[in-house]
């Protein structure tokens, strides 16, 4: 095997030679895409090449992991897909987008035909874990190997026998907990950091195992599953979810994902009002770092949920007041903070073994475009300050009299 690239890693003069497969001659990138990758991914070489030229597929190497990374969907291949270019070509497909329903009935009975599983939707960040060249890696949604996540996943679970016996499967799950660098959320049963598996999929095809196959394997290998609230008939599930979601909301949890038992229909997600509220609060703390669609979408969710839950005048009023407060209060607090010459920043805490590990993680998120610095490392805990730059800059400009 030999991989070689020139001209600032732009793949125009990339050569690939694979000794373990049928191709023994060096290939230009065009030929590699045409003769090899087209067959594996079932996407035309020309389409792949265009995506490379436009930057929708990027060559990326980190820690001896040379790979093509899909930044956008290309044909049927999801963004976040990683094609590992090592001894063997390995494909870990991106995690598919889950569509949302704004109302439960009649959306659920229309969408699903047969029995469905209602699983808890955990609020953390999406992780895919796969074994590549006998080494286990954890990928973030975008398709990066995250050093922190990889290390923690291996500490939290014993994955050796699962991947030894199932090297062609990918574990998809959510990293959750308070000491979580991407999405911090308190779950009483998790505490600082934990992992919950929600899907098991095949490499290359991305075909998911059925709900039963998934929970069987999870049990067999003693892995941590997401909560399964129950299996219901499609025409009864809306009523059940209505009850479940009210409890989930009260407990400060996020929502549910409803899945066809055979995993043939597309799953749907539905979330609690309290979860929308938390996100609105958070986003209005850093209003210029979130797109307008982020706010709009959450307000729309509230509108449809309030309608469907058929609330009393009083309940509706409470919802409306809470929404208004969640928009205004955090924003005014941030404006006040910036007016005192402080940046709009948040501090996150992660557990690491050394300052070097903390530095490595900060470098990793820095390369992803996050403005972060290590504030301190003490007793195995790193405090990382993340600055929301647009919010800081814009607010400070308006406070000086800049026009909107």
Nearer to ligand ATP, 120 or 357 (CB): 120
Give residues 180-239 in contact with ligand ATP (rule: CB under 6 A). 198, 226
Nearer to ligand ATP, 285 or 301 (CB): 301
The minimum distance between CB 325 and ligand ATP, in angstroms, equals: 23
Nearer to ligand ATP, 93 or 394 (CB): 93
Is there binding between residue 144 and ligand ATP (CB under 6 A)?
Answer: no
The DSSP letter of residue 400 is: T
Asked whether 127 and 175 are in contact (CB, 8 A), the reply is yes
Q: Write down how long the chain is.
A: 404
Nearer to ligand ATP, 201 or 203 (CB): 201
The minimum distance between CB 307 and ligand ATP, in angstroms, equals: 21
Is there binding between residue 6 and ligand ATP (CB under 6 A)?
Answer: no
Is there binding between residue 126 and ligand ATP (CB under 6 A)?
Answer: yes
Asked whether 364 and 148 are in contact (CB, 8 A), the reply is yes
Only one residue has tokens 């394997």, namely 217
Q: Which of 114, 145, 118, 109 is nearest to 129 (CA)?
A: 145
Report the residue closest to ligand ATP, judged by CB.
Answer: 126
List the alpha helices (DSSP H) in 38-120: 38-41, 45-54, 107-111
Nearer to ligand ATP, 84 or 139 (CB): 139
Q: Could you give the string, one character per residue 84-123, with x where binding to ligand ATP holds by CB under 6 A and - elsewhere?
A: -----------x-xx--------------------xxxx-
Nearer to ligand ATP, 104 or 226 (CB): 226
Buried b (16+ CB within 10 A) or exposed e, 168-206: ebbbbbbbbbebbbbbbbebeebeebbbbbbbbbebbeb
The minimum distance between CB 270 and ligand ATP, in angstroms, equals: 10
Q: Which of 282, 266, 293 is nearest to 112 (CA)?
A: 266
Buried b (16+ CB within 10 A) or exposed e, 383-401: ebbbbbbebbebbbeeeee
Nearer to ligand ATP, 223 or 257 (CB): 257
The minimum distance between CB 386 and ligand ATP, in angstroms, equals: 19
Q: Give the binding-site size for ligand ATP (rule: CB under 6 A).
A: 13
Asked whether 69 and 144 are in contact (CB, 8 A), the reply is yes
Is there binding between residue 174 and ligand ATP (CB under 6 A)?
Answer: yes
Residues in contact with ligand ATP by the rule CB under 6 A: 95, 97-98, 119-122, 126, 174, 198, 226, 257, 269
């Amino acid at each position: 095997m030999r991989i070689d690239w020139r001209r600032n890693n732009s793949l125009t003069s990339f050569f690939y030679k694979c000794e373990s497969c049928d191709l023994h001659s060096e290939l230009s990138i065009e030929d590699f895409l045409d003769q090899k990758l087209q067959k594996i991914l079932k996407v035309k070489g020309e389409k792949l090449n265009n995506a490379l030229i436009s930057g929708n597929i990027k060559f990326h190497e980190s820690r001896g992991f040379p790979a093509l990374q899909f930044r956008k969907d290309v044909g049927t291949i999801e963004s976040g897909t990683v094609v590992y270019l090592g001894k063997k070509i390995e494909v870990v497909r991106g995690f598919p987008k889950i569509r949302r329903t704004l109302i439960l009935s009649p959306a659920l009975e229309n969408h699903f035909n047969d029995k469905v599983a209602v699983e808890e939707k955990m609020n953390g960040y999406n992780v895919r874990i796969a074994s590549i060249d006998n080494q286990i890696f954890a990928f973030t949604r975008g398709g990066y190997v995250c050093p922190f996540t990889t290390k923690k996943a291996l500490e939290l679970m014993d994955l050796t026998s699962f991947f030894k016996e199932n090297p062609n499967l990918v574990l998809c799950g959510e990293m959750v907990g308070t000491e979580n660098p991407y999405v911090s959320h308190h779950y009483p049963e998790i505490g600082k950091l934990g992992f919950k598996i929600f899907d098991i999929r095949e490499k290359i095809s991305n075909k998911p195992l059925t709900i039963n196959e998934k929970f069987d394997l999870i049990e067999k290998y003693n892995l941590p599953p997401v909560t399964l609230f129950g299996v219901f008939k499609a025409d009864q599930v809306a009523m059940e979810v209505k009850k479940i979601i009210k409890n989930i909301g009260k407990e400060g949890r996020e929502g549910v994902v409803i899945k066809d038992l055979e995993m043939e229909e597309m799953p749907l997600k539905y979330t609690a009002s309290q979860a929308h509220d938390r996100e609105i609060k958070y986003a209005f703390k850093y209003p210029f770092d979130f797109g307008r669609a982020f706010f709009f979408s959450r307000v729309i969710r509230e509108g449809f949920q309030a309608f469907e839950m058929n609330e009393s005048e009083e309940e509706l009023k409470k919802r409306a007041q809470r929404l208004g407060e969640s928009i205004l209060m955090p924003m005014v607090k941030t404006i006040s903070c910036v007016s005192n010459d402080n940046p709009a920043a948040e501090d996150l805490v992660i557990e690491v073994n050394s300052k070097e590990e903390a530095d490595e993680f900060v470098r990793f998120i820095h390369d992803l475009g996050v403005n972060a610095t290590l504030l301190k490392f003490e007793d195995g805990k790193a405090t990382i300050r993340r600055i929301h730059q647009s919010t800081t800059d814009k607010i400070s400009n308006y406070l000086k009299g800049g026009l909107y």
